[in-house]
Amino acid sequence: MIETVRPSRRRPIWLVVAALTTVLFEVAVVSPDTARAGEEVFASVGTGEVNGVYYPVGRAICEIVNQDLSIDGVRCSPETTPGSVYNTRAIQSGELEFGIVQADINFNAYKGEGAWVGRTFRDLRSVLSLYPELVTVMARADSHIQDLAALAGRRVNVGSKGTGIRATWEAIEEELGWRDDQRVRPVEMRADATTSALCSGTIDASMLIIGHPSPLVKAQQAACAINLVAITGPAIDKLLHRHLFYQRESIPADFYGMPADVPTFGGRATLVTSASVDARVVAVIAKDVLGHLAALRTLHPALARLRSRQMVNDGLTAPLHPGAEQVYKEMGLIE
């Protein structure tokens, strides 16, 4: 992960300067600017790979938070990571304070399902949701892969273990019921390696879970002819019926100069934390993001359509952290 100027990870974030520990929770939430001048608390935000969407979005959040550093005393640090699954586990272990996580991974961790069977993270807490992130499968144009069924037996980059992409693909394949030769031949690649691999025929398709418009899709289009695969059918119907945090969506044709919208599904990217993280710090993050929403929308295309009421309600598959909840109540966004 990228290392920034920050204190030793041996010091938990809740060991805030002694003066702050005497402040009542209610006062701390209502007035997160009570930190004394010069006193800083570091808050790490796990994101994803540098050329994905999570990292620039995490960097944008930290840019907004750090604008008020002299007032609030919270220094936000975006960290590159493998993605959702890693971020959740790192928050659970105390390695990270915050992380950007797919809504389905968030749900499974809190409920103890999927990869979290036997390791339930009941202290997982939501801070806010961000943008819709859609299952996006790019296929080489001459591979004639137009729909989900055509992926059977193909070489498909489904991400490495520890990523939300891999976890979501495994959920899809379970619903498909594919066996033996029907199953895709999984390839594990970083997003920055897939462009040349798809063009050369090393792989037939590559799966992403991203917000749109995406620079990764545009870069792939510029490199060689591709199409986006429709992710629909009975298996997807069953998956959405079982998991209500997923929604049917379409990738707009005009984003990529396509002849028609491409049907798919997805959830939302969510900012999460642990119940053990200091309520004042969570309140600062929540207050700054919602308070500077217009500026945040300009920092990345995936953030351009953020709406405050959606951010405090949609896709939050773990309970709100009390620090965030109190801020949203004061803003009149929730009751």
DSSP letter for each residue of 190-241:
-GGGHHHHHHHTS-SEEEEEE-SS-HHHHHHHHHS-EEEPB--SHHHHHHHH
E strands within the chain?
Answer: 41-46, 74-79, 98-102, 124-140, 155-157, 185-187, 205-210, 226-228, 247-251, 262-274
pLDDT in tens, the chain (335 residues): 333 333 334 344 433 333 333 333 333 333 444 444 457 899 999 999 888 889 999 999 999 999 999 999 999 999 999 899 999 999 999 999 999 999 989 999 999 987 899 999 999 999 999 999 999 999 999 999 999 999 999 999 998 877 788 889 999 999 999 998 899 999 998 877 899 999 999 999 999 998 888 888 999 999 999 999 999 999 999 999 988 889 899 999 999 999 999 999 999 999 999 999 999 999 999 999 999 999 999 999 889 989 999 999 998 999 999 999 999 999 999 98
DSSP 3-state of 45: strand
Cα separation, 45 vs 117, whole angstroms: 25
Cα separation, 76 vs 66, whole angstroms: 6
Report the candidate in 311, 332, 319, 326 with the shortest Cα–Cα distance to residue 30: 326
Helices 164-176, 84-93: inter-axial angle, 10-degree rounding: 120
Enumerate residues 6+ apart whose C-beta is below 8 A from 237.
Answer: none
Task: Measure Cα distances from 312 to 258, 303, 315, 334 in Å.
Answer: 33, 15, 9, 8
Cα separation, 211 vs 146, whole angstroms: 21
Contact status, residue 333 vs residue 325, Cβ threshold 8 Å: no
Cα separation, 250 vs 220, whole angstroms: 19
Tokens of 259: 């002849």
0.75 cut: is pTM over it?
A: yes
